[in-house]
C-alpha cells in the first residue's frame, strides 16, 4: 500500500513524534512518501486564479504542487499532521491547502478522492487541536474524501516531548498505535464508500454546473464535469 504524509511543520517536535509512532506499524508494509511544509510547498497562493480558470499546471508553484498532487492521488492512505497555532493548522499547511482550492467540489474534484481514506493528527498544549484538524478536514471533505479519522491530542503539561509525563506519552502512543493497526486491517484494493455528505455536495454542485452551463459553457470547471460524464449518469465514487 502507499501512504502520503503531509507534515504541517518541519520541526522534529511533538507533532513529528506522534506521526512517527502512528507510522511505525506501516513501516515494513507500506511505501511512504512524506512532504514537509513549508519546505516542499514554499509559495503562497497569489490569487491569480489561473488554476480555476485555465489549468492548475500553469500555477507559478506547479513544480511543488503537482508533485504533492501526484502523491496524494496515488496514495491509499493520506496522513496530515499539524500542531495548533493560535487555534488553527499551521500557516504552512493552510498555504498548501489554498493551492488545492481548484480540487474543491464546486471546481474540479479528483474522482480518486471519493474512495480514499485519510487520517489527521493534530496536537495542542491546551486548546485548539480539534479546530486545527477541522481546517484540514474542511479541504479533505470538499475534495470528496469521506473516510477521515481525526486523532487529536492535548498535551496539557509541556510542549517538549521529553518533558511530558511517561503516562501521557504512553496514552498517546496507545491511541495512535491502535488506530494504525485498525487501518492496517483494511483491504485497500476496495475503495472507501462515499458518504451522504459527499454525495449531497456532489448533487448540489452538479445542479449548479448544469445551470451555469447555460450562461458559461466555456469554463474549465464545466468542461471537466461534462468530460467526466458527471452531468450524465457517471459518478466519481463508482
Ligand X SMILES: Cc1cc2nc3c(=O)[nH]c(=O)nc-3n(C[C@H](O)[C@H](O)[C@H](O)COP(=O)(O)O)c2cc1C
Query: Could you say which of 38, 83, 115, 144 contacts ligand X (CB under 6 A)?
Result: 83
Choose among 64, 65, 68, 70: nearest CA to 80: 68
Q: Given the complex with ligand X, which of 32 and 125 has the nearer CB atom? A: 125
Does the protein bind ligand X through residue 8 (CB under 6 A)?
Answer: no
Q: Given the complex with ligand X, which of 10 and 98 has the nearer CB atom? A: 10
Give the footprint of ligand X on residues 29-68 (CB under 6 A).
none
Query: Could you say which of 44, 85, 224, 237 contacts ligand X (CB under 6 A)?
Result: 85
Q: What is the DSSP string of 24-42?
A: GGGTTTSEEEEEETTTTS-
Query: Could you say which of 7, 15, 152, 209 contacts ligand X (CB under 6 A)?
Result: 15
Does the protein bind ligand X through residue 128 (CB under 6 A)?
Answer: yes
Q: Given the complex with ligand X, which of 75 and 84 has the nearer CB atom? A: 84
The residue with cell 513529528 is 16
Residue 107 DSSP class = S
Q: Are 122 and 82 in contact (CB under 8 A)?
A: yes
For the record, the C-alpha cell of 83 comes out as 500542531
> What is residue 222's three-state secondary structure?
helix
CA angle at residue 106 from 38 to 150, to 5 degrees? 50
Instruction: Work out how close the CB of 123 gets to ligand X at its nearest, in angstroms, rounded to a whole number.
Output: 5
List helix spans (H) across the chain. Answer: 14-23, 50-53, 62-74, 91-98, 129-143, 166-184, 196-215, 220-228
| Residues 168-207, mask of contacts with ligand X (x by CB under 6 A) | ----------------------------------------
Instruction: Work out how close the CB of 15 gets to ligand X at its nearest, in angstroms, rounded to a whole number.
Output: 3
Question: Where do contacts with ligand X occur on this chain (CB under 6 A)?
Answer: 9, 11, 13-15, 83-87, 123-128, 155, 159
Amino acid at each position: 500500500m502507499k501512504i502520503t504524509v503531509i507534515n504541517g511543520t518541519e520541526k522534529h517536535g511533538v507533532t513529528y513524534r506522534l506521526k512517527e509512532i502512528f507510522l511505525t506499524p506501516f513501516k515494513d508494509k507500506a511505501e511512504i512518501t512524506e512532504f514537509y511544509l513549508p519546505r516542499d510547498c514554499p509559495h503562497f497562493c497569489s490569487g491569480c486564479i489561473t488554476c480555476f480558470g485555465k489549468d492548475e499546471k500553469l500555477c507559478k508553484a506547479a513544480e511543488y504542487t503537482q508533485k504533492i498532487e501526484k502523491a496524494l492521488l496515488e496514495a491509499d492512505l493520506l496522513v496530515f499532521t499539524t500542531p495548533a497555532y493560535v487555534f488553527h493548522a499551521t500557516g504552512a499547511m493552510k498555504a498548501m491547502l489554498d493551492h488545492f482550492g481548484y480540487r474543491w467540489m464546486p471546481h474540479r474534484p479528483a474522482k480518486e478522492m471519493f474512495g480514499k481514506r485519510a487520517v489527521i493528527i493534530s496536537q495542542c498544549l491546551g486548546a485548539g487541536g480539534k479546530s486545527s484538524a477541522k481546517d484540514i478536514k474542511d479541504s479533505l471533505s470538499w475534495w470528496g474524501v469521506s473516510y477521515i479519522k481525526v486523532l487529536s491530542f492535548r498535551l496539557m503539561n509541556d510542549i517538549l516531548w521529553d518533558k511530558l509525563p511517561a503516562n501521557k506519552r504512553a496514552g498517546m502512543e496507545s491511541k495512535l498505535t491502535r488506530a494504525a493497526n485498525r487501518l492496517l486491517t483494511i483491504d485497500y484494493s476496495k475503495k472507501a464508500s462515499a458518504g451522504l455528505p459527499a454525495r449531497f455536495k456532489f448533487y448540489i454542485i452538479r445542479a449548479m454546473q448544469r445551470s451555469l452551463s447555460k450562461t458559461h459553457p466555456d469554463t474549465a470547471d464545466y468542461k471537466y464535469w461534462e468530460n467526466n460524464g458527471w452531468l450524465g449518469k457517471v459518478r466519481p465514487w463508482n
